[in-house]
């Protein structure tokens, strides 16, 4: 049976013809070869070998991870080339030697990141402004939640109360600080609020949670928003990346076992309140992302179709770009006022199922268990203690 081989090239619709022409002599010698710029599962479904031309710089994302997502078991052959002319030189040499594939060993594939619970966990964001209250604990208990995200403004005692509900409850915390619009918060000021105080003084919030055994910490929140420091504490993804690295460097000396998370960003186009869109911010903060122990992601949707599109365009894209990094969806919700809580409950069950199918995602935390104000359309319970329909629907997942 002849071998079917796809040569994937980083071509645009305008120059694909030049890439095909570069492979003409190679395709004459070796049967079953096609040239394409489409790494989709449908295009790679029948091939035995994928020859990847170029890398992340040429493709704009981790092309190897994309191919592995489409065909986990396919054989991969690599060619380092950025132009059709460079590709032609490599293929002409193979034709001259009569060698269909390169002699170099394929690039090593990154291993899947270790999940903190050993599997995907169904998570919930704790109370948005303050300690967990008794109705919040009932939400966690009734909905059979497996992981909880807390803010460092919560009580450290909440950790023990949550583990009374489930002994293996996974708990992470976000380092919370208000960021004024008119004054910069330096890395030194930020870390000063969280590093340990001298013996005999009151413990800082981070120190209290660390002493309770919490190890996963998300550093800040949606830093591409003005309300979260953009324009005062930093003016770009690159500046925030340097700020993040300084914070991690300082706090790691005090909390050596901590796992530091790069925060979830506000998704969407650039605007007055979101001066930089998510992807351009992330590109500029690449060095910080590489240094982070894990990556936070935020996703919001109004429908199942929008949910599916964003799972591919956001969560899967994170995994494609950074295949060695654990991803945590630290916030997801349907924030729209006109959607009934019952509908949201069914959407959340679908979301948990779909995101659990993405390798390398450790947990997804729905926003939010409760809040004293602002988030009544997302809260899983009312301020009078009544539980919404979301709770029982998620419990029946």
Give the CATH number for residue 81. Answer: 3.40.50.10330
Runs of H (alpha helix) within 255-333: 278-284, 286-291, 304-310, 316-321
* Residue at 370 is within a domain: yes
pLDDT of residue 55: 84
Q: What is the mean pLDDT of residues 72-80?
A: 89
d(CA 225, CA 239): 14
Q: At residue 3, does pLDDT exceed 90?
A: no
User: Does residue 108 lie within any of the structural domains?
Assistant: no
Quickly state the pLDDT bin for 61 (edges 50, 70, 90).
confident
Q: What is the mean pLDDT of residues 6-22?
A: 95
Residue 109 within any structural domain of the chain? no
- Last residue of one domain, picked from the residues 28, 62, 97: 97
Q: What is the mean pLDDT of the segment spanning 229-238?
A: 97
Same-domain pairing of 51 and 173: no
Mean pLDDT, rounded, of the chain:
94
* Domain identity same for 90 and 130: no
Query: Minimal CA–CA distance to 73: which of 55, 49, 101?
Result: 49
Is 145 inside any structural domain?
Answer: yes
Q: Is the pLDDT of residue 1 over 80?
A: no
pTM: 0.76
Does 275 lie in the same domain as 385? yes
| Domain identity same for 60 and 195 | no
Give the chain's domain count.
2
d(CA 250, CA 187): 9
Residue ranges making up the domain that contains 46:
5-97
pLDDT at 199: 86
- On whether both 69 and 192 belong to a single domain, the answer is no
Nearest alpha carbon to residue 388 among 347, 350, 342 = 342
Q: What percent of the chain has pLDDT over 70?
A: 97
Q: Which of 8-12, 102-106, 135-139, 263-267 shows the lowest per-residue confidence on average (mean pLDDT)?
A: 102-106
Same domain, 132 and 60: no
- Verify that 259 and 384 share a domain, yes or no: yes
In this predicted model, what pLDDT tens digit does every residue of 172-225 receive, in sequence order? 999 999 999 999 999 999 999 999 998 888 899 999 999 999 999 999 999 999
In-domain check, residue 199: yes
Asked whether residue 22 is domain-assigned, the answer is: yes
- Domain contains 114: no
Instruction: Mark whether 66 and 185 lie in a shared domain.
Output: no
Cα–Cα distances (Å) from 108 to 62, 64, 324, in that order, read 13, 10, 12
How far apart, in whole angstroms, are the C-alpha atoms of residue 162 and residue 159? Answer: 5
**What does the pLDDT look like over 89-141, one tens digit per residue?**
999 999 999 999 986 544 455 568 999 999 999 999 999 999 999 999 999 99
Same domain, 298 and 182: yes
258 lies in a domain?
Answer: yes
Q: Which of 97, 131, 160 is the last residue of a domain?
A: 97
Please name the helix (run of DSSP H) or strand (run of DSSP E) that holds residue 93, with its range, or none: helix 84-97
Look at residue 2 and tell me whether its pLDDT is greater than 90: no
Rg (CA), the chain: 24
Chain centroid to Cα 337, Å, comes to 26
Q: How far apart are CA 117 and CA 109, in angstroms?
A: 23
93 and 142 housed in the same domain:
no
According to DSSP, the β-strands at 5-8 and 33-36 are parallel
Residue carrying the six token digits 């003084």: 201
Spatial separation of the C-alpha atoms in residues 66 and 68, rounded to whole Å: 5
Q: Are residues 92 and 127 in the same domain?
A: no
CATH number of the domain that 255 lies in?
A: 3.20.20.80
pLDDT in tens, 295-338: 999 999 999 999 999 998 899 989 988 989 999 999 999 999 99
pLDDT of residue 110: 57
The candidate with the shortest Cα–Cα distance to 170, out of 149, 156, 154, is 149
DSSP-derived letter for residue 52 is E
pLDDT, residue 105, reads: 46
Same domain, yes or no: 199 and 66: no
223 and 172 in contact (C-beta within 8 Å)? no
Query: Lowest mean pLDDT: which of 4-8, 63-67, 262-266, 374-378?
Result: 63-67
């Amino acid at each position: 049976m002849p071998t079917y081989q796809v040569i994937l090239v980083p071509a645009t619709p305008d120059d694909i013809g030049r890439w095909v022409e570069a492979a003409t002599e190679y395709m004459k010698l070796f049967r079953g070869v096609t040239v394409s710029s489409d790494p989709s599962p449908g295009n790679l479904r029948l091939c035995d070998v994928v020859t990847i031309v170029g890398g992340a710089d040429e493709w704009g994302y981790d092309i190897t991870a994309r191919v592995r997502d489409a065909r986990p078991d396919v054989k991969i052959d690599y060619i380092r080339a950025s132009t059709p002319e460079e590709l032609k030189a490599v293929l002409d040499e193979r034709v001259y030697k009569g060698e269909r594939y390169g002699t170099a060993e394929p690039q090593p594939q990154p291993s899947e990141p270790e999940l903190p619970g050993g599997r995907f966990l169904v998570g919930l964001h704790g109370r948005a402004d303050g300690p967990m209250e008794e109705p919040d604990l009932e939400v966690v208990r009734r909905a059979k939640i497996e992981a909880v995200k807390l803010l460092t403004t919560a009580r450290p005692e909440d950790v023990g109360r949550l583990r009374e509900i489930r002994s293996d409850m996974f708990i992470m915390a976000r380092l919370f600080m208000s960021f004024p619009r008119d004054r910069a918060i330096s890395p030194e000021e930020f870390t000063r609020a969280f590093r340990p105080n001298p013996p005999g003084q009151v413990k800082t919030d981070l120190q209290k949670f660390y002493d309770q055994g919490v190890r996963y910490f998300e550093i800040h929140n949606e830093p591409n928003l003005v309300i979260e420091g953009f324009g005062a504490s930093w003016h770009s993804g690159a500046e925030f990346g340097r700020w993040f690295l300084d914070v991690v460097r300082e706090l790691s000396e005090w909390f050596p076992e901590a796992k530091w998370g790069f925060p979830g960003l506000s998704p969407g186009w650039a605007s007055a309140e979101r001066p930089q869109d998510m992807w351009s911010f992330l590109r500029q903060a690449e060095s910080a992302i590489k240094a982070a122990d894990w990556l936070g992601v935020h996703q919001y949707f109004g429908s199942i179709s929008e949910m599916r599109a964003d799972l591919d365009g956001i969560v899967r894209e994170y995994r494609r770009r950074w295949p060695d990094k654990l991803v945590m969806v630290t916030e997801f919700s349907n924030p729209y006022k006109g959607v009934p809580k019952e509908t949201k409950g069914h959407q959340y069950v679908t979301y948990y199922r779909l995101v659990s199918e993405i390798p390398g995602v450790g947990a997804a935390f729905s926003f939010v268990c409760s809040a004293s104000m602002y988030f009544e359309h997302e809260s899983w319970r009312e301020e009078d203690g009544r539980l919404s329909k979301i709770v029982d629907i998620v419990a029946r997942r």
